[in-house]
Structures are given as C-alpha cells and as structure tokens.
Amino acid sequence: MSLFLEGQPDPAAVEAALKAETVALMLLLELRFASGTRYLSNANIPFTDPAWGREWQGMGDMVSIAEISGGAEELAPLIEYQLALPYELLAPGEVGVNGKGRIPALVGSPGEYLNRPAILWGQILSRSATDAHGRPLPVGVPFAIHTGLMDRVKASFGPSQARLTLPVEGPLSRKGAPVFGMLTPRDQARRHPGDQGLRFVPEVTNTDVTWTTW
C-alpha cells in the first residue's frame, strides 16, 4: 500500500475512486494570516471537511490557481493564487476611488500575511453518492498538495473587478535553494546519477580539494 493510501481512513474506497474513469476533486486553500486562519474552496457553497470539521468558504470561479509543479527536479516551486473581486460585491465604503478602496491598505500590510504558511489541500468527491441536498459526498479525507510561505500580494484593477495575486513559495525558497538545485556534486548526482562532472566544484568556500596523483 502506498503512503498516500495509508493516510486515508478507508484506503479501498479512495483507491476505487482514483481508478474511476473520471475523478472529482475539490481544492481547499488554508491561509494562516496573522489575524486568523482563512479556509477557502473552489466550490460554490460552503464545505465541511470530514477530517477536522472545518467549514471552507465556497468561492467558486472567483478563485483560481496557476499550474502546480514539483518533484525531484524542482526543490522550491512557486505557485500563484488569484482572487477576483467584482466591484458590485464590495460595500460602498470598500470600493473607493476607481474601485480600489481598502485593497491598497490590505496589500500594504505584509505583516498580516508575509512569510506565513499557505497550504493547498485536495478532497476527492464521490461520483455517485450524495447527501440529502444532492451534493457529492467526500471520499476519504483531505490530502496536502502544496505547502509554502506567502509572499507579497500584487493587485491589478480592471473596468469591472479587482484581482489580487498571492505568490506562495516552497519551504526551501527561504533557504536560498534554486528551483533546480545547486551547482554542486551532490545535487548533480541527484539530478543525473553517475555524472561526476562537478566533482571538483567545492560546495563551500573553504573546501579543500584533494587532487589525484597519476
């Protein structure tokens, strides 16, 4: 059994759902702001998860996400979350001049979000079982897709809505790790096993290289 299935309360049900012709997946975004954690989803209605009983606010098409990448070749992937704010959904005091209102103040308060965790979860949904309201039932519990630290929010303003873009960097980004690893023998061996082309490149400034004698 895989590590993924071991973390599920009903591995057989999750495996069966993943083997189906189509897989229904809900995305859940946990943003740990300084003032409190926010729970968002790409559903159109609120969703209560079966693991912690948290209610995830349904944002529907107002939220979007850039392509998610990762794996051995990408040590510090960056992804971007976007939130569309139609001006008609904002209160009169929030719209302000040109629809900007409180948004510049929010963007200019990095202490609220900068370097704080953001976690993207996935929740598999049943293609056949529904609740009393006709909503798909969850299969298993949420699983982590990406975790990282929030960077500075960017805002853009159109004729009908504002759009906030939140970059989230992988945990290794704060350690200066480049996306594809460092130019060291160790990282090169991980990328290309057997390649010794960088064996004489010192990993630290004071490394003493022992040269061979012929």
Q: Using 50, 70 and 90 to split pLDDT, how confident is the model at 174?
A: low
More confident: 24 or 85: 24
Least confident range from 57-61, 72-76, 164-168: namely 72-76
Phi, psi of 106 (to 5 degrees): -65, -45
DSSP 186-214: HHHHHHSTT--TTTTS-SSTTPPP-----
| Amino acid identity at 189 | A
Task: Give residue-wise pLDDT tens across range 75-124.
Answer: 556 789 988 877 776 656 555 555 445 555 556 688 888 889 999 999 99
- C-alpha–C-alpha distance, residues 106 and 86, integer Å: 16
DSSP 25-48: EEEEEEEEETTEEEEEESSSS-EE
Structure tokens at 115: 């370097």
Task: Provide the whole-model pTM.
Answer: 0.72
Cβ pair 147, 165 in contact under 8 A: no
Structure tokens at 168: 């989230």
What is the per-residue pLDDT for 9? 92
Task: Give residue-wise pLDDT tens across range 116-156.
Answer: 999 999 999 998 888 888 889 999 999 998 888 998 888 88
- The answer to whether the Cα torsion of 44, 33, 121, 151 is positive or negative is positive
Q: Is the pLDDT of residue 7 over 60?
A: yes
What is the per-residue pLDDT for 104? 55
Q: Using 50, 70 and 90 to split pLDDT, how confident is the model at 209?
A: low
| Amino acid identity at 43 | A
- C-alpha–C-alpha distance, residues 14 and 53, integer Å: 19
Cβ pair 113, 34 in contact under 8 A: yes
Give the residue extent of every domain in the chain. Answer: 3-171, 175-202
- C-alpha–C-alpha distance, residues 86 and 26, integer Å: 23
182 secondary structure, DSSP code? -
Structure tokens at 180: 């594809």
Q: Using 50, 70 and 90 to split pLDDT, how confident is the model at 173?
A: low
Average pLDDT for 146-174: 81
